[in-house]
Structure 1
Amino acid sequence: MSNALNLYSEHYVSVKSERFVNKIWCLDNFLGESLIENKLVLPNGCFNLAIVRGNAIEVHTSKKKYEMNEGVYFCSQMTNKVLVNIQPKTKVTIIQLHAWTLSMFPKYDLSDFTDSIIKIDTTELPFKINIQDAVDTTLQTVNCYFEELADLNSNRNSIEKVCEIIKSNEDEISVSEIVKTIHSSQRSIQIKFKSATGLTIKKYAQILKFRKSVDQMVNADLEKMNLTEIALYNKYFDQSHFIRKFKDVTKTTPKTFNPDSYFLSQKR
């Protein structure tokens, strides 16, 4: 796996676009001669738009196996780890969209769409994507479109507000408290949120909490911060509660977790 070091890269959008796009990341095995297999991706509360160039990428979600040949794919919210195999002569550029971004396009109902991937026609996209484009060109296209979207929608809708409240709260916050904050009916916001993201508000909050804990675990000097501290800092009841939730998503324990098997966010 000689090119594994250059396989994963992250590219950041403009400050204004960041309201809707988390980042763009690439898995580049375009010059590779061999299959890169059994790499893992963890859920993080984002949707992904994957642009596959070259041969193919194989993705195993908790629901099924997807063979993604050249083209553009929409990847739903993931609730469990995903296994990825990348064929030689293949490059994947992934536009990572925040959970609320799809709520800007109310014609999509994603209520029953999680752990799934669909191939889409590029003409369905609101911006023009060319599979052969370099990352810089894609970045430019994405910035151009989402900066304009931010200008046209200066007010945050209810889905974006819910996500912002969850993200900015250090302490756990109940759905009823969130609803009070945005002055909405609990039933109506629950339905809207599920339709826009495929997740319940509670599940979205759990995914964010889990991902924050893993990133902390990977980046922390474990001599200074042990599992119990990470668990309690992220509002798990205790260490065993954290381990149980960790196993639910990764099918392994924090002790046997190997960060090298995963594509994890780089520390910015």
Structure 2
Amino acid sequence: MQLYSEHYVTQKAERFVNKIWCLDNSFGENLIENKLVLPNGCFNLAIVSGNAIEVHTSKNKYQMNEGIYFCSQMTNKVLVNIQPKTKVTIIQFHAWILSFFPKYDLSNFSDSIIKIDAEELPFKIDIESEIETLLKMINLYFDDLAALNPNKNIIEKICEIIRINEEEISVLDISKTLKSSQRLLQIKFKTATGLTIKNYIQILKFRKSVDQMVNADLEKMTLTEIALYNKYFDQSHFIKKFKDVTKTTPKMFDPDLYFLSQKR
């Protein structure tokens, strides 16, 4: 049984859901220890079945027994221990998803996890559901949500501008593009995501750099080239930011310790 797997939603649902990923130790007899997850600019809804998973964020340690958990935006690496006979299915949502449910204020909620009741969710989840059943339910709900919301809201527009821009972009640049005040954009973004716009930009830039570093032939693409390509000032600046998140240097980074996105 493969420990880590990824599953993908329909093209319409992908507007809101990045992917579904599974950590499956349901047939395992041993504790899986000290696996790591990097920040990625997404929210996660974790469905734990079986025994438990232990998660250490930069703020706290969480013992996640069987149930459903909402995981906020993360700004640093997260350490994960998975008990035997445990399966975790994680729905990874894009940063703008909660802005479509405006009753939630996440402005002071990051690097944190809370347990929630299944009845709080706008779609039905059964903890014991197989991935095919979960995918079908997620696709139906988010296909409908996309149809009901054909126009992007302000949070989705901010994220889109950041994601498609090839150059380093500032909040001022975004405010000019959207013809809105910087302060208003900052307040709305932090309320919906728990991050500042600058935090979000830095997280995406960091993840892009890590993915390049892991997937590139480093004999052909040096750390300096990766740093400059991703708009860090120089290699030293990249290494400093890398250590801030991972607590290690790029040269000491071991991808096998991490759950990293599979190449599609």
CA distance in structure 2 between the partners assigned to 1:204 and 1:137 by the alignment? 32
Q: TM-score, normalised by structure 1?
A: 0.98
CA distance in structure 1 between the partners assigned to 2:24 and 2:80 by the alignment? 13
The equivalent of 2:109 in structure 1 is: 113
The equivalent of 1:40 in structure 2 is: 36
1:188: Cα distance to partner?
1.1
1:53: Cα distance to partner?
0.3
How big is each residue's C-alpha offset from its partner over 1:139-193, in whole Å with a ceiling of 9 and x where there is no partner?
Answer: 1111100000000000000000000000001101110110111111211111000
The equivalent of 1:167 in structure 2 is: 163
Residue 260 of structure 1: which of 242, 253, 256 is its match?
256
The equivalent of 1:141 in structure 2 is: 137
CA distance in structure 1 between the partners assigned to 2:100 and 2:56 by the alignment? 29
Residue 198 of structure 1: which of 194, 203, 207 is its match?
194
How big is each residue's C-alpha offset from its partner over 1:229-267, in whole Å with a ceiling of 9 and x where there is no partner?
Answer: 000000000000000000000000000000000000001
4+ residue runs of structure 1 moved beyond 2 angstroms? none
How big is each residue's C-alpha offset from its partner over 1:189-208, in whole Å with a ceiling of 9 and x where there is no partner?
Answer: 11000000000000000000
Which is further off, 159-168 or 176-185?
Answer: 176-185
The equivalent of 1:19 in structure 2 is: 15
Q: How many residues of Structure 1 are paired with residues of Structure 2 in the alignment?
A: 264
The equivalent of 1:70 in structure 2 is: 66
Specify the SS of the correspondent of 2:145: helix
Q: TM-score, normalised by structure 2?
A: 0.99
CA distance in structure 2 between the partners assigned to 1:93 and 1:138 by the alignment? 9
Residue 86 of structure 1: which of 82, 85, 108 is its match?
82
Aligned residue identity for 1:208: L
Specify the SS of the correspondent of 2:251: coil
CA distance in structure 1 between the partners assigned to 2:8 and 2:245 by the alignment? 27
How big is each residue's C-alpha offset from its partner over 1:95-147, in whole Å with a ceiling of 9 and x where there is no partner?
Answer: 00000011000000000000000000000000000000001111111110000
Aligned residue identity for 1:175: V
The equivalent of 1:186 in structure 2 is: 182
Unaligned runs of 5+ in 2: none
**What's the C-alpha RMSD, in Å, of the aligned pairs?**
0.5
The equivalent of 2:5 in structure 1 is: 9
Specify the SS of the correspondent of 2:250: coil
Specify the SS of the correspondent of 1:255: helix
